[in-house]
Amino acid sequence: MNNMSGTMNSGPLISVVIATFNSERDIRGCIRSIASQEYKNIEIVVADGASTDNTVAILKELSETHRITFTSQPDKGIYDALNRGAQMAKGDWLHFLGSDDRLLPGFSELAQKLEDPNAVYYGNTTEFVRKGIKPVYTLLTGKFTTYRLAKECMNHQAILYPARVFKLYSYNLRYKVYADYVVNLHVWGNSSFKKLHFPITIASYNMSGFSTMNVDPVFIKEKPTIIRKSMGWVMYFRWLYKRYRKRRKDGIVDYY
């Protein structure tokens, strides 16, 4: 493992993994946001799901001038593609983007802080929704304790994972929307990983994307069990009690 020091041309290799399918409208802007980073030791890994538009042609064109590895083949959805991308990645740290997301200059600032190969580093993100001509942005901030994570999902694009995470875990394809949330519940419940938050905004995330436009009934049903298994009984009962109190206050009754 190389320590971060000196210029932004040195330091550990970061793999930015992107899943694409018919992304010709967005993929250029996404890759340009990566290529424009001051931190240069970045490889771009694209797992394409056999796009039928010009996505693959654009990737071939961009790979002539950018550090891109890509594959295009049928898959079982975004998390299948991200698993494939994680297997292809050679980096010491992995970061995941959608093709309609963008890295911000703060990504390079966070990259300079990477030192501990057993630590998850994460920052803040902005979410945007396209409304008319001008997007509307919301800043997502703050440190995630295990309890906060049990309550709510954190933004996938805020996180730089050490490569060891994906030697232990992968995205479970049973969860169509929240497989990344499940991985984070496992990681935050794993005391062998430090979790280091820095108040740096590193990415812009499209709120009109897949995860915000779909529901995941399998995850909703199994979330209590996932919390218990990944975070233990104490956290499970704390989360269950707090959820019960909130739902009772809100007049919501359920029995699982």
Instruction: Supply the pLDDT for residue 134.
Output: 53
**Burial state string for 51-86 with b = 16 or more CB within 10 A and e = fewer than 16:** beeebbebbeebeeeebbbbbbeebebbbbbbbbbb
44-101 pLDDT, tens digit per residue, is 999 999 999 999 999 999 999 999 999 999 999 999 999 999 999 999 999 999 999 9
**What is the rounded CA–CA span in Å between residue 231 and residue 221?**
17
Report whether pLDDT(229) > 70. yes
Domain ranges of the chain: 14-250
CB atoms within 10 A of CB 195: 18
| Superfamily of 14-250 according to CATH | Spore Coat Polysaccharide Biosynthesis Protein SpsA; Chain A (3.90.550.10)
Rounded mean pLDDT of 222-227? Answer: 97
98-151 pLDDT, tens digit per residue, is 999 999 999 999 999 999 999 999 999 987 655 554 555 566 778 999 999 999
Residue 174 contacts by C-beta under 8 Å, 6 or more apart in sequence? Answer: 218
Instruction: Supply the pLDDT for residue 2.
Output: 37
